[in-house]
Structure formats: C-alpha cells, structure tokens
Structure 1
Amino acid sequence: MSETDTDIQDAPGVAESELDEDDRLKPEFVRAVLDAVQNGDDEAARALVEPLHPADIADLFELASHEERRDLARAVTDLLDGDVFAEMNDYVREDLIDALEPHQVADIAAELDTDDAVAIIEDMEEEDQRAVLRALDPDDRAAIEEALSYPEESAGRLMQRELIAVPEHWTVGHVLDYLRGNEDLTTDFWEIFVVDPAHKPIGTCELSWILRTPRGVSLSDVMKREQTLIPVEMDQEEVALRFQKYALISAAVVDASGRLVGMITVDDVVHIISEEAGEDALLLSGAGDGDINEPVLDSYKARVRWLIANLGTALVAATIISMFEGTISRMVTLAALMPIVAGVGGNAGTQTMAVTVRALATNQLTDSNSMRTIRREILVALLNGSTIAVVLGCAVALVFQNPALGGVIAAAMMTNILIAGLAGVIVPLTMDRFNADPAVASSIFVTMTTDSMGFLVFLGLATAAGLTA
C-alpha cells in the first residue's frame, strides 16, 4: 500500500483508497479534507493533503467551491508551493493569487522555471504585477520582464530560460566537469545546446551521447548539427505542430538575430496541444473558454453573443418558410418533412466543417491543396447525398403513398447535402484566408446555409411540382 493510501485509511470517515487509478480525487476524500478545514482541524486537513502529488493538490482546490478555497489555502499554506500553482486551473489560480501578498507571489514565482512563473504573473492586474516584480531577485525579475515583453501565446512566453549551453571547442570531459561542478544549473533537460562565440546554436548533444562517449572526444565530433529552431515570436500552436511533426523532446528558441534565448520542452507542448484542441472544440460550439471555474458573468458574455447570432440565422430560415406559406397550407405534410432536410444537411455540414477546421489547425490544409480538398469534399457529399436521397425518397414515397413527394424530398436532400459539403469546407477556408479563427464562427454560417437552403430547395421544388394533399 502506498503512503497516500495509508494516510487516507487512517483518516476518520475516509475509505481505504481515495484516489482512483487515474489519480482523480474521490468525493469522500475531498469531503473529508474540507470538513476538517471547516471544523478548524487544520492539522488533520494537512495530514490528508501532504502526501498528494502537486497536481492532485491543484485538483483538490479546483474541486472546492470558491468560498472553501481560501480557508483550505490557509490550512495548507506551506504545501502551496510553485509546483502546485503551476498545475492549477487558471481561474482557480487567479482566485488564490488575489488573496496573497505580492511578496508571497514572488516567493512562489522564484521557485518555478521562467515559463511557469510567467503563467502566474501575466494575468495579474498591472499594479499587482509591478509589486510582485519588485519583490523578485534582479535576475528573476529581468527574465520574467523579458518574457512578458513577448506576445501572448508565443514561444517567448512558453520557453524557459534555464538551459545548458556550451562552446563547440569543449570536449566531453569539459562538459561533464561543468555539469558536476555547478549546483545552480537547471536539473530538467534532455540535451545540451552547442553555441558559437555569438551564442548562436550550432548543434545539440543528447545526454545519452555525453554519458557514453570518452572524455577526450570533442563535442564537434559527436554533436548533431541539424536541429529545429523555434523563433521567439512563433505562435504556441505552431510550436506544438513542429514538436509533433519532428518528434522533438526539446528545441532551442532563438531571437531575431539568431541568438539562443531559451528552450521549449515536450512537457510544455503536451499541455499546449491539449489546450488548443479543447479551445477549438469549444469555439466551434460558441461556449467561450468552457471552463466550469469561469465566473458566471464571463460565461454569459461569451455564450450569449453566439446565441443571438443563432437567433438571427433562425429568423432567416423562418422568413424563407413564410414565403411558402401557401404551399405548406395546401400540403401540411411538408411541414413535418422539411426539418429532416435541414437537419441532415446541417449534420453533413458539421462533419465537413470539423474535418476542415482540424486540417487547418494542424497545417494539413494549405493554399497548395485547398482545391483538391474542395473537390474531395464535393465527391464525398455527392456519395452521401445520393445514398441518403435514395433511402429517404423511397421511404417517403411508400409511407405517404406519393411518389412525387418522394422525388421532391430526395432531390432536396441531395442538393442540401451537396451545399452542406461545400459550405463546410469553404466557410472555414474563407475565414482562415482573412486571418479570422475558423473555429470561432464557422458553425453559425454553415448551419445558417444548410437550414436556409434546405427549406428553400425543398419548399421551392414542392411549389414547382404543384404538390397538394
């Protein structure tokens, strides 16, 4: 039994194992900690929390309510180190940071790598930010101020400045002595960067090569000269794509003059990949940040504007329906069938749009293959439309004993799925062409197109065919 399991078992009213296999905190454990805090038994609360991993402590604070977090923080203050804050949800972290004094935030930031420290400080109010920076050591302050000078979500914000860089003329022995003789060096690195006299990276040496190579061998004989360099202002999403494409563990970050200014490691990129994927999914739905810890008013503001936009598109569809009031009155069955045409067309458009947005986000879809992609989606839409049109047309003709109605709805379905396929790829491409995020509003325009055109084509064909009850 692990140390954590033992402590939980000894705690009154807590089951033998309060952490499941994927390290998520169970309700009984969370309740036991919060009850101890509420009862003023800080020692019991601390005994339960102390064995947890920093990420689990961060999760514990996220599971607590807004009112409970500050009391919990007071009870386990000495356990709230930089590693815990680095793992914490942004909204929860901001909530706790607001309750701390600037010197306390500075102490936490000083424990962290620069990238994690920046993540804590960058969202603070400007006045509080300056107070925290003043409380930092000059070296830490200079590094963080430099990072804050770069654009948000750029490599400059993401990178850490703690790295190992050595000159090319050194031998393996020099490197080993340097690593062993300097206690202030970073401890988290996978490779050593080799730089020229201007501090520009010219190669890398993996630690495994260093450890397996005789001391007298020159670095120039064992280093790898080919490397992937990350410009300091590159967007973090592009950084993540490079790590995925070239299977990188770490990469050097260079400024405009090509000098080495930091490095990005794969653990930071994993977080970015998850963050960007979730962000795109939420943007497609118009749900804003989609964080359950987000303030209610922020969630309201993020969502209501897209609901209003959806209301506008729904009014467009309603206007089209009203144009065919006479046709619908002559054959009420049309009112029951037309949502099928719009609904299936909407689903077809959403499928194509999701594929297109993902392809744009991962650089699979560019100007060089956009026309090929459009032709492909047209072909897929034709095949899908033909299949659904035949099935639906036959079913309607048999159920309503009206072959003409079956033919009309089959033609309308075929047309709308084809339109949906075109809209699903052209709308995101157009938004991307105008430097707008295709994940933000593509769904609204695609849905408006499939609903409006579905009703228009179906009712228009029914009018042209003179269908009556």
Structure 2
Amino acid sequence: MADTDLQDRDTAHDGEERVEERVQGEGVQFDEENRLRPEFVRAVRESLRDDNEDSTYDLVEPLHPADIADLFELFDREDRAYLANAITDLMSSEVVAELNDYVREDMVEALPAAAVAEIVEQLETDDAVQLIEDLDEGDQRAILAEVEPEDRAAIESALTYPEESAGRLMQRELVAVPESMTVGDLIDYLRAADDLTTEFWEVFVVDHRFHPVGTCQLSWVLRCPRDVALTDVMKRDQTLIPTDMDQEEVALRFQKYALISAAVVDDSGRLVGQLTVDDITHIIAEEAGEDALLLSGAGEGDINEPLRDAYSSRVRWLIANLGTAVVASAIIAYFGAAIEKLVALAVLMPIVASIGGNAGTQTMAVTVRAIAMNQLTRSNTKRLVLRELKVALMNGATIAVLIGAATAVLFTPELGAVIAAAMVINIIISGMAGVLVPVAFDRMNQDPAVASSVFVTMITDSMGFFAFLGLAVASGLVSL
C-alpha cells in the first residue's frame, strides 16, 4: 500500500511538472497582453521556410485553437498555405471557426478537398456554411462531394437562404420532442438517443406539425419529478426567428429578450433550426464594426482583405467626396472677391467648416447607432430631431462665444460677431443634417451608415462657407 501511495505521489508530481513546463512554454509564446510574441511567430516562419514540418508542428501544437487562428492571421497569404499543410492534423473545427473570413478562404484553398470535407464534417452546420459559402462554385462542389450525404444536404439547404439571414446562420443540430412526453420520458430519451447534439441549453417542445409550442430548460428538467408532463413545466412564451430575418435584427432580438437560444421557423411555422448566443456575439461585434467602417467609407476595413477589394471599396467614396467638395469650392469661388479684400476671411473659413463637420459627425453617429439598435423609429423621430436641435443650439452658442471673442481680439469686433453668428447657424444645420440624412436613407430602405457621411460632409462644408461669407457680405464688412 505504501509503495502504491508513493507511486501515486510520484505520478502526481510528474504531472505537476508537465503542467508547469507547459505554462512556462506558453510564457515564451505570449507576451504580457496574451498576444503571440514576434520571436515565436518568427520561429514558426523560419521552420516553414526550412521545410521542417515536424519542427513547425511541435511549435504550434501546444497552442489553443483560437491562438492557432491568430497565428494564421499574422502570416502572409503565401505562407498560410505552407502552414496549413504542415499542421493539417491541428486544423480542428475550433480553429476554423475562429479564423478571419479572408484567412479562412486562403486556408481552404490551400488544403485538398478531402481535408476540407473532413473539417466540415466536424463543424456545426452554421460554421460549415461559413467555411464554404464564399468559395467558387466549383470548389464548393468538390468539397461537398466528399461530405457525408446527410451533412451535405443540410449545408446545401442552408446555402439556399440569403446571406446574413437566420436561415444561413442557424444550426440544424437541436433537441425537439413531442408535447405528449413527461419529464421522465424526456430524460430517458436524452440518455438513450446516440445521435443527439452534444451541446444544448434547452429542449424544444413541438406539436404534431413540428411547430414549436414551448421550451424546457435543462435545469427545469433535472429538478422536476419524472411523472410531470412537459406541457406543465415548459415555457410557452418564446421568441421565434423567421428564416429570412436579417442577422442584425436577430442580434437585437437576442439582446432585447436576453436569449440564450431561439427556435428558427420556416414560412409554415415549422421548426427547422436554432440560433444560440455564441453565434450572436460574433454578429453583434461584426455589425458594430461594420457600421463604423461604413460611416468612414472604408468598406469592410479588414487588414486581410485583398488589395483590389480594399481599393475598389474605398475609392468610390473618395470620388463621391471629390464631387461634393466641388460644391464647397464653388461657394468659395463665388465669394472670391470678398476674400481678396479681407484675408482674415480665408484664415477663419476652415474653422467654421471644421467645427460644423465635427458637430454633424457626432449627431450622425448617434443617429445611425439609434437606427441600428431600433431605438429610433417613426414614433420618436420628431423627439430626436428636437433633442438634437437643442443640443446644437447649446453647442453653437458655446463655440460662438469662444470663437467670437477670440476673433474680436485678434481682428475686429465686427468680424467676431459675423463668425459667431455663422458658427451658430452651421452647427444647427450640421446637427439637423446629422439626423435627417440617416433617417432619410432609412426611410428609403437603404443602409444609413453607407452614404450618410458623404452628404453630411457636403452640407456642413458648403453651408459653413456660405453662412460665414454670406454674413460677411450682408453685414457690409466686405463687398463682392
């Protein structure tokens, strides 16, 4: 017995040493902010260039799947293919699910169809669809041909739904039982069925038409007596997600009702899948970043985006900005004679336009966010307009006093009064443009984040110049 205890202690001690070595190894791989160290990334890259796949595998093997995904994103596109081939055995479904979209596409193209199909079969339906949806049709067919018929049918069905819709995002792996069951029947079914999904939070209760009639959380099932009917303990009030609902609206539903999972139904109300909160957190992050990038006209803004795509997505909005800038230039040209007579006008013009542009951007950002979060509807648009008008008046008055006083000291009191009045006018106009332009796009069923900045910038610049120079002429300070 003593020898056995000693052996157990030695085994435990060895295990502790191995854990300590692993932690120390991770310390070499990561910096204090839990990012992969440049030295580690360089070591992996050098082992690849030396065609030493065994060394590459040994370096990468201790990493968590999410860290392997980060490693891929740190490599150039050409090197990702070599890395994918060197660590094929480590390319688990968890790694693939964490990859950036563009990096995932590069990785899939680097692997043979059979290897991709093996990964696809490990993934849940929504992740499998995300893996192959952006591939060429020929590549999709080649991969799906290697996938088991049941999985292939589920993926092909998901691909028929629009992109960024609930049908495309949903998981088909769920647990649904008839409403005639008792708690004991359900427990026996969950224990006996071998083909059920391994991760779920609630059980969907359906009628004879496979329409969801309620849900049972697993905690309820475990705490109830076996002879209690499911219909007595299930929650009948549930949030049903149509297959064609946009992912942004889905995310808002989850956020509003604090959902962990939700049933997805087709046009006939039949249960066809489920969405879970882990999928929604990614959507929320994507949508938030997408709106911010669209406001700036930067396209998708992904550093892994192909150069040509980045160029085309940005240059068209720069060309649009060029066109709107011509409007402001035309106003300046109209007042050219007045500017020549009083050089101070040229000095102060950029201040008026800049402050107005910032005020418009602030209001536009608030409005676009309110629209995206369903906080702004037809019912409260008037209230928001009045609110932003009050904010603009207060901001305009504050800035007008500061710039007017400074201008009066540096130039003349008359010019100080003109720029103060122009500042109030421009900030009010900017505030109204920041609200009304996104609302107008939303009313036309267009994404308010896409083109709002172009038009708001045009309005703030042109009206800022016009108000300042027009008031200078109208006040008799200068003449045309």
* Alpha-carbon spacing, 1:168–1:462, altered in 2? closer, same or farther (3 Å): same
2:55 aligned with 1:40, yes or no?
no
TM-score (norm 1): 0.96
Residue pairs, 1:274-353, within 5 angstroms: 274-353=285-364
Structure 1 residue 18 displacement after superposition: 2.1
Partner of 1:6 in structure 2?
21
Structure 1 residue 8 displacement after superposition: 7.8
SS at match of 1:364: coil
**Cα deviation 1:207-234 (Å, max 9, x = unaligned):** 1111111222211111111111101110
Structure 1 residue runs without a partner (length 5+): none
Quick check: 2:85–2:111 contact (8 Å CA) kept in 1? no
More displaced stretch, 239-248 vs 16-25? 16-25
* Alpha-carbon spacing, 1:170–1:2, altered in 2? closer, same or farther (3 Å): farther
Residue pairs, 1:48-59, within 5 angstroms: 48-59=59-70
* Alpha-carbon spacing, 1:80–1:444, altered in 2? closer, same or farther (3 Å): same
* Alpha-carbon spacing, 1:67–1:315, altered in 2? closer, same or farther (3 Å): same
SS at match of 2:172: coil
Residue pairs, 1:65-80, within 5 angstroms: 65-80=76-91
Partner of 2:366 in structure 1?
355
TM-score (norm 2): 0.94
Quick check: 1:4–1:51 contact (8 Å CA) kept in 2? no
2:176 aligned with 1:161, yes or no?
no
Quick check: 2:72–2:80 contact (8 Å CA) kept in 1? yes
- Of residues 166, 180, 184 in structure 1, which corresponds to 2:195? 184
SS at match of 1:203: strand
Structure 1 residue 289 displacement after superposition: 0.7
Partner Cα separation in structure 2 for residue 292 and residue 168 of structure 1: 50
Over the matched positions of the two proteins, sequence identity in percent amounts to: 65
Q: In the alignment, residue 34 of structure 1 is paired with which amino acid?
A: R
- Of residues 367, 390, 405 in structure 2, which corresponds to 1:379? 390
Partner of 2:475 in structure 1?
465
- Of residues 425, 430, 433 in structure 2, which corresponds to 1:423? 433
SS at match of 1:391: helix
Quick check: 2:85–2:110 contact (8 Å CA) kept in 1? no
Q: In the alignment, residue 438 of structure 2 is paired with which amino acid?
A: P
Partner Cα separation in structure 2 for residue 179 and residue 329 of structure 1: 85
Partner Cα separation in structure 1 for residue 18 and residue 286 of structure 2: 32
Partner Cα separation in structure 2 for residue 92 and residue 30 of structure 1: 16
Partner Cα separation in structure 2 for residue 388 and residue 2 of structure 1: 65
**Cα deviation 1:40-82 (Å, max 9, x = unaligned):** 3322221221122211111110111112111111211111122
Partner of 2:419 in structure 1?
409
Quick check: 1:243–1:266 contact (8 Å CA) kept in 2? yes
Quick check: 1:205–1:223 contact (8 Å CA) kept in 2? yes
Q: CA RMSD in A?
A: 1.7
Quick check: 1:4–1:52 contact (8 Å CA) kept in 2? no
More displaced stretch, 363-372 vs 132-141? 132-141
SS at match of 2:225: coil
Partner Cα separation in structure 1 for residue 304 and residue 19 of structure 2: 27
SS at match of 1:253: strand
Number of aligned residues: 464
Deviation >6 Å, runs of 4+: 1-5
Residue pairs, 1:114-263, within 5 angstroms: 114-263=125-274
Quick check: 2:328–2:458 contact (8 Å CA) kept in 1? yes
* Alpha-carbon spacing, 1:156–1:46, altered in 2? closer, same or farther (3 Å): same
2:470 aligned with 1:451, yes or no?
no
Partner Cα separation in structure 2 for residue 183 and residue 45 of structure 1: 38
Structure 2 residue runs without a partner (length 5+): 1-15
Structure 1 residue 356 displacement after superposition: 0.2
Quick check: 1:5–1:17 contact (8 Å CA) kept in 2? no
Q: In the alignment, residue 85 of structure 1 is paired with which amino acid?
A: V
